Chains A and B, each alone.
Chain A
Amino acid sequence: MDSQQKLSVVKGAKVLMVGAGGIGCELLKTLALSGFQDIHIIDMDTIEVSNLNRQFLFRQSHVGQSKAKVARDAVLKFRPHISITPYHANVKDPDFNVDFFKQFNVVLNGLDNLDARRHVNRLCLAADVPLVESGTTGFLGQVTVHVKGRTECYECQQKPAPKTYPVCTITSTPSKFVHCIVWAKDLLFTKLFGDKNQENDLNVRSTGAASSSEPVEDVFERRKDEDIEHYGRRIYDHVFGYNIELALSNEETWKKRNIPKPIYSRHVLTDEFTQQNGDVDKNLATDVGPSVSAMAFLGMNNPQDIWSLMENSRIFLEALKLFFTIRGKEIGNLSFDKDDQLAVEFVTAAANIRAVSFGIPLHSLFEAKGIAGNIVHAVATTNAIIAGLIVIEAIKVLQNDTNSYRMTYCLEHPSRKMLLMPVEPFEPIKSCYVCSETPLLLEINTQRSKLRDFVEKIVKAKIGMSFPLIMHGSALLYEVGDDLDEDMVANYAANLEKVLSELPSPVTGGTMLTVEDLQQEFSCNINIKHREEFDEEKEPEGMLLLGWTQPFSAAEKDNNRSIGNGASVSNASSSTTAEAATDDEIEIIHSGKKRKLSEDSKKTDSGISKVDDETKISKQLEILDDEDDLVMLNEGGTDKKKKRLL
């Protein structure tokens, strides 16, 4: 690289950074030092304490402020004469449309979620702007280059599918701690403190058959004038005692499983004990907000401790009491938030008590918080390394040095002596529904599924559109937008509730639908195939989308260490779906999920350890034994041909 030429392309470039978090802080610093002079940065987040260990542009005094703006100010201190334009906004806002993207020479992603990454990928394709994409988790990281028509797009490769748990695993047969967490967080917590109207599978059913009609009184409702102690114990006994007892009656379930044991509060806690906890209203001010803590109240202060059953029970009752006495106003509107101390305490305790019932090892609050909050492991060093690699690729993109583009993996354990492993980028996949025109195939029961199911489960959840428009030929079946007239809105609302085959323009087997997102300027076609039956366990959504991402194999299900290890129950569907993690820097090694870097069987210098198991890279790595010793990934195991950028 000629350094003069390098400097001039860098100086003249206008770059967009998406994300001012872990990678973003490092990236902004490195861009500024490298001579970039016109940098725009989008981030909707505000600064939190747990960011400060690695997002080095932020200080304690900045907590609560916009990341994009504070990052700008911090970098201007050592590079006062460059232009940094911050946007404290969501990259999915309509303002950031294709025209907005077109003004940049390159887009650099330091994002924390799949959804936004896909959105940016589509905008970059539509605007024809190169994208350098990145991700880290713990000591692992990767940087990839996506240039329309030359290299694969971000969505050419299958992405880790959200983890799903069959609903009965959560409600009746948990076998891992994460199942208990999901139950505590998405069912119990929501039932007690969240939206009462939401469908909730908390109560196990005594038979496998769904909803027998039993319009009994809601046991979770606090009765008028019911003493809070009494209420807490009633809930405790219901969910940890009665419900388990009820489940036991279904003998078939337990033939091959450990039989759970019902737990009642009277067996765990003595009466005088709860009394000692004193009167909350007297001891605490009324507006302590989210800092209220049952742990603090009970004199337990180490989040790394694993509590006993009794301690968990005390926390459970105390937290419940604190919610009702101090945060009563919020009840009915709460949803779980990993930064809500009391919520984390409640969920930890509830999950642990349930774990005792089912003979599952208990966990500390620290660990439980990580699982419940999908907290991603993050260290400063990996982010710094990845940011350096992003800038190197960005400069190549600006120089149009296509043959030098690399995707680079940052590994925890060396592979072929390498900790930083460059790989040639892949060509675009011809059947990619995002960057090519290949239609998707949807198997669905057109006589039972409603348009709403299709919109929610496929168009939004799977295809990742935010503002979809659905067409059957020239007939518009559905669209969203601010400028629709009332008739249309009513019309679309009615369509949503219709079964596909009964829509004004009926959708049946053989139909091709066009789905479009106007903001992403992205559209794709979906061929509909009617299918009568779906396996409830394996295909809980009751439909199957082909040609985008295959469901994970059974082996994957047993893997706890996958990224985004938490999960949440989706009430709309009969399955429990893990959300993509929402903290910083998530989502590892995008292709890492499915490519294995196997060892080079050819001559190598010395014994070389396998690539980090944690990367779970599962397809074959082929090594070109050329002078440059370049490493190339190949989709081994499938019939796909080698893909190289030429």
Chain B
Amino acid sequence: MDGEQLTAQETALYDRQIRVWGADAQRRLSKAHILVYGMKGTVAEFCKNIVLAGVGSLTLVDDRMVTEEVLSSNFLIPPDENLYSGMTLAELCCNSLKDFNPMVRVSVEKGDLSSFGVDFFDNFDVIVVSSCSLAAKKLINKKCRTASKRVAFYTVDCRDSCGEIFVDLQDYRYSKKKLEETINCHLQYPSFEEAISVPWKTLPRKVSKLYFATRVIEKFEEVEGRNPGEASTADLPGVLKLKKELCDAHSLNESHVPDNLLERLVTNTSEFPPVCAIIGGILGQEVIKAISGKGDPLKNFFFFDALDGKGIIEDISSDSNTGK
């Protein structure tokens, strides 16, 4: 790192966390630029976490207007129509987030992220997207990968009491200390598109059922032309039909994608606040790890289901499943 020191103000404010990750990591954080897209509850949690952690800047993209659903899980938006009318979700969240930490620059960018040019992505170190269509996820991920420097890409979504995080750090090297030794680590991540194209039957037998269920619903919303998160109870027969087709195509036993799990995910599409807190917390931790180079980042999916309480990492990439 360059010799720049943290100011006395920074040292006082970040005292407790510097004790966790050190002053070097704190300096790296303060130079990182992060962009988020899709301001629902989970992303609001994530934004709170990284603004508190003291990143350099946070850019919010979401031109949608306030809805009941957003209000129910996003604590950044005051539920007062006089306050929120006429403003976009990004603008409203921006106002609240600025308040959390005056040392972080929080701003709004208008427009459709997937249509932005690659040079726009060059401005950021981390992109987090939520409530995105399958096509948009693939496209944005691709743009991150073609940027002139490494732009870490994350997707995050919660439905009912379940959540999923996807991580693409591309080619990621870091070092860690084990006892006195320094170990150099190297991880190679697949893109979102590559990861979800890994044939299901090559995946380990115990891979999280949520992985398959989420792919089924994601695909359903794409083929039906729905907005992300729009599949509802009425769609259950269609979703189950698609599940069968996908399982057949992948030669995967249908029991790996339980009907009742799919039913849960289409019946209650809104976010469950405790799960937003958990997923937003894990995602915050992962982004802090990736920026600071401290700690093993997860590769490359994370799932949480409040029903069994397990928070699981799955490595879904073609090289990791070939009997390594």
Contact = CB atoms under 8 A, between A and B. Distances in A.
Contacts of B21: 379
Contact of A53 (B23, B54, B276): B54
Interface string B273-294: 1111110111011001000000
A637 B79 CA distance: 55
B311 A53 contact: no
Contacts of B73: 33
A526 to B, nearest CB: 39
A420 to B, nearest CB: 3
Given A1-B307, A78-B79, A381 B288 contact: yes
Contacts of B275: 388
Contacts of A419: 282, 298, 302, 311-313
B183 interface: no
B223 interface: no
Interface string A62-87: 00000000000000011110000000
B313 A33 contact: no
A146 to B, nearest CB: 17
A537 B298 CA distance: 46
B11 A138 contact: no
A428 to B, nearest CB: 21
Nearest to A80: B79
Interface stretch (B41-49, B138-146, B188-196): B41-49
A605 B206 contact: yes
Interface in A372-426: 375-385, 387-389, 391-392, 395, 406, 408, 410, 412-414, 417-422
A422 B20 contact: no
Interface residues of A, number: 63
A412 B49 CA distance: 17
A384 B284 contact: yes
Contacts of A1: 161, 306-307
A418 B310 contact: yes
Given A53-B54, A78-B75, A628-B308, A378 B16 contact: yes
Contacts of B204: 605-606
B57 to A, nearest CB: 17
Contacts of B102: 60
Contact of A56 (B48, B307, B309): B48
Contacts of A408: 309
B206 A629 contact: yes
A375 B315 CA distance: 36
A533 B206 CA distance: 59
Interface in A450-473: none
B79 to A, nearest CB: 6
A385 B48 CA distance: 13
Contacts of A56: 48, 52, 100
Interface stretch (A192-200, A301-309, A566-574): A301-309
B211 to A, nearest CB: 12
Contacts, number: 178
Interface in A129-168: 138-139
Interface size class on chain B is 35 or more
Interface string B95-109: 000011110000000
Contact of B45 (A3, A375, A384, A389): A384
Q: What secondary structure prevails in chain A residues at the interface with B? A: mixed
B72 interface: yes
Given A419-B298, A605-B206, A139 B315 contact: no
Interface string A32-51: 11100000000000000110
A387 B279 CA distance: 12
Contacts of B12: 49-50
Contacts of B20: 138-139, 377-379
A52 B288 CA distance: 18
Given A56-B48, A380-B284, A418 B313 contact: yes
Contacts of A30: 273-274, 277
B42 to A, nearest CB: 11
Interface string B61-79: 0000000000011011111
A138 B308 CA distance: 25
A498 interface: no
B254 interface: no
B21 to A, nearest CB: 8
Interface string B8-52: 100111111111110100000000000000000100010011001
Contacts of A420: 278, 282, 304, 309-311
Nearest to A383: B281
A220 B8 CA distance: 34
Given A33-B73, A33-B75, A384 B49 contact: yes
B205 interface: yes
Nearest to A367: B19
A366 interface: yes
B152 interface: no
Given A53-B16, A388-B278, A29 B313 contact: no
B52 A380 contact: yes
A305 to B, nearest CB: 10
A171 B212 CA distance: 63
Contacts of A391: 273-274, 277
Interface string B256-288: 000000000000100011111110111011001
Residue with the greatest number of chain B CB neighbours at <10 A, chosen from A26, A385, A413, A414? A385
Nearest to B54: A53
B167 interface: no
B78 A384 contact: no
B4 to A, nearest CB: 12
A412 B315 CA distance: 17
Contacts of B53: 53, 379-381
29 contacts: A1-B161, A33-B72, A33-B75, A52-B101, A53-B14, A53-B15, A53-B53, A54-B52, A60-B102, A78-B79, A79-B79, A138-B20, A370-B19, A375-B16, A376-B16, A377-B20, A380-B48, A387-B277, A388-B274, A388-B281, A410-B311, A417-B313, A417-B314, A419-B311, A420-B282, A420-B309, A420-B311, A606-B204, A629-B206
Given A78-B79, A381-B282, A387-B274, 19 more contacts: A29-B277, A33-B72, A33-B276, A50-B15, A50-B16, A53-B16, A59-B99, A375-B15, A379-B21, A380-B17, A380-B53, A382-B281, A384-B278, A388-B276, A418-B311, A420-B310, A605-B205, A606-B315, A628-B308
Interface of A: 1, 3, 26, 29-30, 32-34, 49-50, 52-54, 56, 59-60, 77-80, 138-139, 301-304, 366, 370, 375-385, 387-389, 391-392, 395, 406, 408, 410, 412-414, 417-422, 583-584, 605-606, 628-629
Interface of B: 5-6, 8, 11-21, 23, 41, 45, 48-49, 52-54, 72-73, 75-80, 99-102, 160-161, 204-207, 268, 272-278, 280-282, 284-285, 288, 295-296, 298, 302, 304, 306-315
